[in-house]
Amino acid sequence: MAILKIKKYPDKILKTKAEKIPRIDSKLIKLSEDMLETMYFFNGVGLAANQIGELKRIVVADIRPNGKKKPLILFNPEISASANSCYMEEGCLSVPGISAKVKRAKKITVSGMMPDGKEVKIEVDGLLSRVLQHEIDHLDGILYIERVNAIKRWKLKKEYSKVNNL
């Protein structure tokens, strides 16, 4: 496995929509395993392929990375239903040093393919719901800082520049 380089805001690939995967092969499985290893290395709970420079619809997540690991790898994930919503603090490995409260659905239904090629449809809630929404946003070229109002976004970008010496 390998630790991959994470793309940082304002890299243009983070604003680019990822392409659907027609077929899962050994290269994509290796890539997803490397993504998991990278996510764990940087103490993240989710990672999308755009964040490591690949425009492929792959997300990995594990909301228990420091304890008993329970990784989730999804190819071509799509949200088909959502319920209720709440605000919760979010951060991002591609936008380090800042965080913001973002409104997202509490519960979602996600479909996609597992590494073995099987189609799945899962209902998730709580933190895993939030993580998958955040990562699927990445695949659509949307950063969490775009989910806040314009004034808050301006303040976040200013803080990000200061924290990251840009």
5 in a structural domain: no
Report yes or no on 122 lying in a domain: yes
C-alpha distance from residue 43 to each of 109, 114, 147, 161 (Å) = 26, 23, 23, 22
Looking at the chain, the whole-number percentage of residues with pLDDT higher than 90 is 92
The reply to whether 95 falls in a domain is: yes
pLDDT score recorded for residue 94 = 98
Mean pLDDT for the chain overall: 95
* Structural domain harbouring 74: 12-163
Average pLDDT for 78-90 = 93
Q: Which of 19, 37, 89, 135 is catalytic?
A: 135
Amino acid 81: pLDDT: 84
| 6 falls within a domain | no
pLDDT of residue 103: 96
Tell me the pTM.
0.95
What average pLDDT does range 35-50 have in this prediction? 96
Domain count for the chain = 1
Q: What is the pLDDT of residue 165?
A: 86
Give domain status of residue 76, yes or no. yes
- Specify if 53 maps to a domain: yes
Query: Does the pLDDT at position 65 exceed 70?
Result: no
Residue 4 lies in a domain: no
Looking at the domain assignment, is residue 103 inside a domain? yes
pLDDT at res. 105? 96
pLDDT at 66: 65
Q: Which pLDDT does position 83 carry in this prediction?
A: 85
Taking residues 11-22, report their average pLDDT. Answer: 97
Active site residue 78: no
Look at residue 1 and tell me whether its pLDDT is greater than 80: no
Name the band, by pLDDT with cuts 50, 70 and 90, for residue 145. Answer: very high
Domain with 117 in it: what CATH number?
3.90.45.10
